[in-house]
Structure 1
Amino acid sequence: MSFYTWKIERIKRYSVIIILALFCAFMMWIGQRSQLPVFSNDGEAKALSKGNGDQPFIALTFNISWGNEKVHDILEKLKTHQAKATFFLSGNWAERHPDIVEDIHEGKHEIAMMGYEYESYSKMEPEQIRKDIQKAKEAFEKLGFEDINYLRPPHGHLNQEVLSAIEKEGLETVQWSLNPRDWENPGTNAIINQVMENSSKGDIILLHASDSIKQTAKALEVIIPGLKQKDLEFVTITELVNGGQAKNKEE
């Protein structure tokens, strides 16, 4: 009788172990699946426009396609207020301003791309998009940036064909969730108010550092401290995607 009791207890013990193992495997699977929707939707490529709203992270992003006068003001404000950002650069611009690209990198900011010529992808055939991305990759590789992961379509123009073409080149598409339209120069206070009134956890903020912008650097003097007061932490796109865990190799 005791033998059968021992056997039953042993079966129960092993059953509990198996159930726990299956549960852990299931939770790991769920965790992996939860990462997929960031850049995919039922197998279709999609753009990242916002991070996890449950985490206190926010991403400043700056587009640059021309000019070399305003970007240094932006970098100085970021340095002063100890905020990191992601810069989306056209390959054509990066080739012509390698010293500024290096300044951005040395500031611990992330380098991403906007293709090479900064021409709308929605007006191109997939092969034209591929060639533009390849040309951009070559430009950044010559500058020492071989591991760029993110691309913002020129002018933000996007459709499913563009998304698929970008994905086929091994890149992830990044858009934004908050656009204060600083390139229109609506006034420093207007830029500040748009960001401060509408920002929340996980936001990707679209700003610019090309020479057309005249008020963005000054707006950052208020925006960065203001967002910190809202208990938000500035992260790169990579860190936003990975929950703030990824760090630059130099760190």
Structure 2
Amino acid sequence: MLRLRRAVLCSVFTAVMAVGSLFVSDLPTTHAATNAQPKAIYKVDTDKKVVALTFDISWGNKVPEPVLDVLKKEKVTKATFFLSGPWTLHHPEIAKQIKNMGYEIGNHGNLHKDFSRYPDNWIREQVSISEKSIQQVTGVKTKLIRTPNGDFNPRVIRCLNSMGYTVIQWNTDSLDWMNPGTQNIVNRVTKRAVPGDIILMHASDSSKQIVEALPQIIDQLRKDGYQFVTVSELLANAKVSSSIVR
């Protein structure tokens, strides 16, 4: 009987510890505690009302220039664009315009495929191709990368870090590529944004409503007291809030 009770207690303890560990693994982890772990940056911890507007571009030439026109008209001088290699080569004048307007440029890969499905040598090859394409057109040697589809795992992060890249995700997703309606895009961004936020939008032709939504987003965020900075400026001036990749 004593042996049975011990076995039961041991089983209960093991179950409790397992459940506890599940909860702990899902808790937010501080940057200091995870410095050695692979991570992607979602936002930064800051009391300042600053956010980074980021735009992914992987195809099309109908939306990018109108987006740039909106930013110019609204006098937004700080934003970060993640460009794919093929798009940059196919639309060099627009890529150069982004650079000449002073916006930060990051890497969005070459083929728009999930990195986690491929080995490290494939990832290095793809990132190197897009890096060279962007540098050839704009003169920019990229240091930030947003993986296609935002897909990664610990191995992918380690591979990209070994290439000198910082992996950038987002905390607020506009879902503009789904074209849910202009007001829905505006509401998602303006109601979810927090200080230190990285906001995901697209300037690809798939995002058919971003040009109408963007002026409203900019106006409302400014009314809420926010200023716009690049991703690099966020990283340089605030404590990083990252997600450990499991």
Residues 15-34 of structure 1: matches in 2 within 5 Å? none
The equivalent residue for 1:178 is 172
Residues 43-58 of structure 1: matches in 2 within 5 Å? 43-58=36-51
Residues 136-145 or 159-168, more deviating: 136-145
TM-score by length of 2: 0.81
Matched, 1:224 2:221: no
- Please, which runs of 5 or more residues in structure 1 have no aligned partner? 1-35, 245-251
Residues 71-220 of structure 1: matches in 2 within 5 Å? 71-83=64-76, 84-220=78-214
Distance 1:70 1:146 in 2: 22
Distance 2:63 2:174 in 1: 18
Distance 1:82 1:119 in 2: 34
TM-score by length of 1: 0.79
The equivalent residue for 1:32 is none
Q: In 2 relative to 1, CA 220–144 (structure 1 residues): closer, same or farther, beyond 3 Å?
A: closer
Residues 47 and 172, structure 1, Cα contact 8 Å, conserved in 2: yes
Distance 2:134 2:206 in 1: 24
Q: RMSD in angstroms over aligned alpha carbons?
A: 1.7
Residues 55 and 243, structure 1, Cα contact 8 Å, conserved in 2: no
> CA offset at residue 242 of structure 1?
1.2
Residues 90 and 136, structure 1, Cα contact 8 Å, conserved in 2: yes
Instruction: Give runs of ≥4 in structure 1 deviating > 2 Å.
Output: 144-147
The equivalent residue for 2:16 is none
AA paired with 1:56?
Answer: K
AA paired with 1:160?
Answer: P
AA paired with 1:53?
Answer: T
> CA offset at residue 42 of structure 1?
3.8
- Please, which runs of 5 or more residues in structure 2 have no aligned partner? 1-29, 239-246
> CA offset at residue 221 of structure 1?
1.4
> CA offset at residue 56 of structure 1?
1.7
> CA offset at residue 117 of structure 1?
1.4
Distance 1:144 1:189 in 2: 34
The equivalent residue for 2:230 is 236
2:61 to 22, 43, 68: 68
> CA offset at residue 145 of structure 1?
2.8
> CA offset at residue 76 of structure 1?
0.7
> CA offset at residue 92 of structure 1?
1.2
Residues 53 and 200, structure 1, Cα contact 8 Å, conserved in 2: no
Residues 44 and 196, structure 2, Cα contact 8 Å, conserved in 1: yes
- Secondary structure of the residue aligned to 1:99 is helix
AA paired with 1:166?
Answer: L
- Secondary structure of the residue aligned to 1:59 is strand
- Larger-gyration structure (1/2): 1
- Secondary structure of the residue aligned to 1:88 is strand
AA paired with 1:65?
Answer: S
Distance 1:155 1:106 in 2: 27
Distance 1:177 1:144 in 2: 28
AA paired with 1:67?
Answer: G
Residues 43-52 or 182-191, more deviating: 43-52
- Secondary structure of the residue aligned to 2:195 is coil
Residues 43-52 or 183-192, more deviating: 43-52
Higher relative contact order, structure no. (Cα contacts within 8 Å, ≥ 6 residues apart): 2
